[in-house]
Structure 1
Amino acid sequence: MAIGMIGEKVGMTQLFNDKGLAIPVTLLKIGPCTVTQIKENEEYTKIQIGYSLVKPNKLSKPMLGHFKKNNLPCFQYLKEYRSKNIENLNIGDVIRITNIKENELINISGTSSGKGFSGYQKRHKFSRGPMSHGSKNHREPGSIGAGTTPGRVFPGKRMAGRMGHTKVTVKNIKVVKIDHENNILIIKGCVPGKKGNIIYINKA
C-alpha cells in the first residue's frame, strides 16, 4: 500500500482463533478511494484521495471546480498523503484494499470520542481529597500556583476543560482478516472514535 486510504468505523466484535481464545476486533469499511489530485515535487509526491460520494449541492463552488477540472464525481472527504513512489497512479484511479495483506501492520488515525467538559479527576487522573467528616476538599483541584511571585498561573496548567474529540493515532495494529467483496478490514484491538467516524489508515 503506497499511500493511505479513508474509511469509517463499523463497530467492534470478537473472533476465536484455533486455540479457542477470543480476540477483540474492530470492523472498518475502507474505500474504495479515488485519486483526485497529484502534485509532484523533487523530494516527494502529494497524492490526494477522495471518499464517500456526495451531491454537488452540498459542496462549495471552489470544491465543485476542483472536481470538475478533472471530470471527477464529488466526494465528501479528502485526504492528502506524501509518497516517494506513486506506482503509476493517475487521477481518477480507484484504490482498494487489495494491496493490504493479513497479519500486516497498519497505522490508524481518527477523532476520539468527545467527553464534554470534564473535571480534574476524569481529565487528568488527579487524586481526590479526604472523604472524612469535615473535609471540604473532595473533588477540588487544590492550589494552582504560588502567591505574589509569580502572581499568575502558567499556561498549560492542568485544569478542568473539554476532554476528548482530538486526533488520535494508533500505530502497528495487526490486520486479522480482510473481506475484499464488502471492503471490510478486520483489525485486532480498538480504534479511536465512535461508530461511523471517519478514519485514515496508512502502512506502518
Structure 2
Amino acid sequence: MSGIIGKKIGMTSIYSADGRSVACTVIEAGPCVVTQVKNEGTDGYTAVQLAFGERKEKNTPKALKGHFAKANTTPKRDVVEFRNFREEFEGQVALGNEIVVGDVFKEGDFVDAVGTSKGKGFQGVVKRHGFGGVGQATHGQHNRLRAPGSVGGASYPARVFKGTRMAGRTGGDRVTVINLRVMKVVPEKNLIVISGSIPGAKNSTVILEK
C-alpha cells in the first residue's frame, strides 16, 4: 500500500463538476524522504519507510541521527512505514530519494486518511456515548438529566460488566477515515485537497494511504 505523510492545514470548500459545494480538507503532503527500504531477504517483508517534517538536531537521539545520516538527510519529525509500496515506485524508492504528493496521488483517487482525533478530556456519558440522560426534568429528577443510570446488578452478578459504557477520557485516539476522494492536487505547493473531514487539529500529522 503506497502513501505519504502530511500536515493538516485546514478546511475549505470547492465546487465539484456537477456544481455541488463540497467540504474539503487541505493537507500539505510531503515532500517525504525515503529513510529505509525493507525487503524479504533481510527483514521478512517488503516496506518503505518515509520521513516528514523537520526536527531540531539537539532534540534528536543519536541513534536516529545516524539513521537519518544514512539517508543523507536532516533529522525528521515523523517516520512512517508503508508496506507493499506500489510496483511502479520500484526504482524511485531508493534510500535518500524524495517522494512528493504528485508521485503518489492524482485527482479522482480514493484515499484512506489516518490521524489523531482532538482530545476532549474527561467527559460524561451524554457527550462520550450519546446517552439521553435519565427520565425528564419532572418528578424530582433535579440532578439526573445527564446521568448514566444504573450500571450494575444486585446480588447477581454483583459486579459491573467489563466494557460498560461510562464517563471517561474522550478523543486523542488514532482514527482512520476510508474512501475519501482526492478533489485536487497542487504539486508545486505540495498540497492535496480531499473531500470530507479528517481527524485532528490544524498542523497535526496525517497519513494518507492508497
Give TM class, smaller chain.
over 0.9
Aligned to 1:139: 146
Which blocks of at least 5 consecutive residues in structure 1 are unaligned?
A: none
Provide the C-alpha distance between the structure 1 equivalents of 2:63 and 2:186, rounded to a whole number of angstroms. Answer: 36
Provide the C-alpha distance between the structure 2 equivalents of 1:146 and 1:126, rounded to a whole number of angstroms. Answer: 20
Residue 149 of structure 1: how far off its partner (Å): 2.0
CA RMSD between the two structures: 1.7
Q: 1:124 to 1:80 in 2, by over 3 A?
A: same
Provide the C-alpha distance between the structure 1 equivalents of 2:84 and 2:20, rounded to a whole number of angstroms. Answer: 39
Deviations 1:114-172 (A, max 9, x none): 11111011101111121114114222111111122222112211100011110111111
Structure 2 residue identity aligned to 1:144: V
TM-score by length of 2: 0.90
Are 2:31 and 1:32 aligned? Answer: yes
Question: Percentage identity across aligned positions?
Answer: 38
Are 2:96 and 1:92 aligned? Answer: yes
Aligned to 1:101: 106
Contact residue 13 and residue 23 of structure 2 kept, 8 A = yes
TM-score by length of 1: 0.92
Provide the C-alpha distance between the structure 2 equivalents of 1:140 and 1:17, rounded to a whole number of angstroms. Answer: 44
Structure 1 residue identity aligned to 2:28: K
Greater shift, 59-68 or 11-20, is seen at 11-20
3-state SS of paired residue (1:181) = helix
Contact residue 34 and residue 71 of structure 2 kept, 8 A = no
Structure 1 residue identity aligned to 2:174: K
Stretches of 4+ aligned residues off by more than 4 angstroms: none
Structure 2 residue identity aligned to 1:132: T
Structure number with higher helix proportion:
2
